[in-house]
Structure 1
């Protein structure tokens, strides 16, 4: 096993290096651009919102099928080998999709290539969480683990919030000022360069001490199907569905007012507040348990969505988005913290990738359904979908309460 050569007990930034955070942040941007970029290009070239929704869903299906397997491979063989291969494969698939959607009339080929994008997606965010949790638990004193893990999950979720807001915005800018294919080509370049750099970073050599010489984990794979983990996966799927349905219904809302390009600006209102509050989770008192946090902040998110059926002006929409932003960031932080706390020994990358896949699957499904409903039934009906998605996240919090063992009720 190769350890990161830093003194035990130092700060996390001293252990992994400042450059790590910059590389990991940029490397996760293409992942946030995939779903919207595929949707934008397909609708632009084919003129079909329904096909665009299906291609977005195909990306999510590919991620759902292969994401956890890639996480398991990273746990077994190390992140460096897995991510190096994925950086090249995913970059190639992104470019291939831009060619297929323009050159082929066969919808099946378009959907297959979109599936390939999701299947090869290098999920940097879950891999980063796994690396940092491993660094904390194996290189810091045990007394510092709870606060360090909480702060790390807060930062990682804030970074996710930022790229998931900035990603669609960047897709819109590039598609408008260059060409509809530009976002995916640029995402391919970022994938090769920055995911490659993330794969080659020294932290990628660190392997959990819980793995034996053959790379096997002490806990069986069946431990990944424990109710405590599955309910967290349900929760992050609900959050992902909220992202997808909120963006598509908001776009439809602004399109009805002749300003569809302003949807990203309004969406940013929620994203900025969400990211700020996600960072603030690290300073919440330990007695405010994780199961209580999930329930409280998911309730705030759900309450904010209940305003959507009554929104009739952009100003009212901004108010609703601001309230939802208070709930969404801390909810996501808490879900990932619970996932880290409940990870079976030696399977942290697998668990984090399961949660990352759940977010993308939910986003893809939400975008596909939201686009179809907006087109077929109108904006008023589409605005009900975020209510359903937030309800799923809240349902996960309710189901989680009896599943939280005494050792998991304190904030990680």
Structure 2
């Protein structure tokens, strides 16, 4: 039996842009929690750390889709190079501001400018789509990238926290910035796989991809999923610190990825025939159910086990969510459509970090996981109510578009 992942990486340039994209997107996970880890140590206040992290994540959530919309119209290189330069310089200023105890407004200002960081996951998926458009290998490629995304979110966060705790407060953010600069440069230099700019399809309006109902539903759902990520990270840092084992936070956050990564890879290899909208509902239901045991984890081993179990459905959620976007969004809007979904995760991480930080400060470390339970319930409700729209036709909800047959 052939290896479906081996097949997709036989395409010219696939290994190169995928590897570069992996490192370039690590800051998506490292930066938000890295800011929390850095400022909570340098300034001693979780609310300030959460607020600065939220400033970065929320601003990026608003700006990234506009950057991707430009990418769809003029190409990756022309847009990604200047925006990445701005983001790298702003991150360096943020690190200096934390280290030198500059005024609080400099923290917020630099976090705001750092949000010019482009959506690397959307750029990577656009390249896979260019190679395997309308071919079954595209599903496997998307499954691989979704598993990689999940690994990035968890392993990146674990690395960021671990560096800040073991080395010095700014270490996680410094390494994150280096990954952004070098990874993006390596990605952009691979011009042979850069997608060509595609004209708007006949009958499709120039309206934003966010006007499509499936994009709205999935983006909202992943806001709640993103808040579950951030809550797990913030609560793990707070609980392990309360238990007198702060160094264990990195390990606890790291195990979040293991089960989900393996399940995601298996799902991509099997390519189940169940409709994607139903797969998504099952995946988010598992997320909601497995968030409950987190409330009972009062030791490091129990916390690690509960976090491991709660993460098993994350990759399947990503795989089915991005698969639905690829099937429901017109080709000329693909990068923007994927970015809106990534934006949902970013918004959720920002809100989750802020809300769970506030809960931890006021009600104790263990109670932070109530945010995960609430967010999991909201995710299920959102996807359940959106089943009809998610089962629809590509581009059908875009103003002025011509519906295409569902795939």
Same fold (TM over 0.5): yes
Deviation of 1:246 (Å)? 1.2
1:237 aligns with one of 223, 234, 247: 223
Partner of 2:114: 117
1:23 aligns with one of 20, 36, 47: 20
- For residues 23-62 of structure 1, the aligned pairs below 5 Å read 23-62=20-59
SS across alignment from 1:307: helix
Partner of 1:335: 321
8 Å CA contact 1:300–1:323 kept in 2: the answer is no
8 Å CA contact 1:131–1:204 kept in 2: the answer is yes
8 Å CA contact 1:150–1:281 kept in 2: the answer is no
Equivalent-residue separation in structure 1 for 2:173 and 2:256 (angstroms): 25
- For residues 1-400 of structure 1, the aligned pairs below 5 Å read 11=8, 13-103=10-100, 105-118=102-115, 120-137=116-133, 142=134, 145=135, 147-203=136-192, 205-211=194-200, 218-284=204-270, 286-400=272-386
Normalized against structure 1, the TM-score is what? 0.88
Q: Which runs of 4+ in 1 moved over 4 A?
A: none
SS across alignment from 2:331: coil
Equivalent-residue separation in structure 1 for 2:391 and 2:239 (angstroms): 43
SS across alignment from 2:312: helix
Measured at CA, do residues 249 and 130 of structure 1 come closer, stay the same or move farther in structure 2, by a change above 3 Å? same
Q: Which deviates more from structure 2 when the two are superposed, residues 219-228 or residues 374-383? A: 219-228
Equivalent-residue separation in structure 2 for 1:18 and 1:221 (angstroms): 34
Measured at CA, do residues 15 and 157 of structure 1 come closer, stay the same or move farther in structure 2, by a change above 3 Å? same
String of CA shifts for 1:248-287, please: whole Å, max 9, x gaps: 1222222232112212212222211111111122244543
String of CA shifts for 1:27-85, please: whole Å, max 9, x gaps: 11122211122122222222221110100100112112211100101111101111111
Equivalent-residue separation in structure 2 for 1:77 and 1:275 (angstroms): 34
Q: Which deviates more from structure 2 when the two are superposed, residues 126-135 or residues 234-243? A: 126-135
SS across alignment from 2:253: helix
User: Structure 1: 5+ residue runs without aligned partners?
Assistant: 1-9
How many residues align? The count is: 391
8 Å CA contact 1:210–1:217 kept in 2: the answer is no
User: Structure 2: 5+ residue runs without aligned partners?
Assistant: 1-6, 395-404
Measured at CA, do residues 411 and 306 of structure 1 come closer, stay the same or move farther in structure 2, by a change above 3 Å? farther
8 Å CA contact 1:86–1:121 kept in 2: the answer is yes
8 Å CA contact 1:305–1:386 kept in 2: the answer is yes
Deviation of 1:17 (Å)? 3.3
Q: CA RMSD in A?
A: 2.4
8 Å CA contact 2:87–2:114 kept in 1: the answer is yes
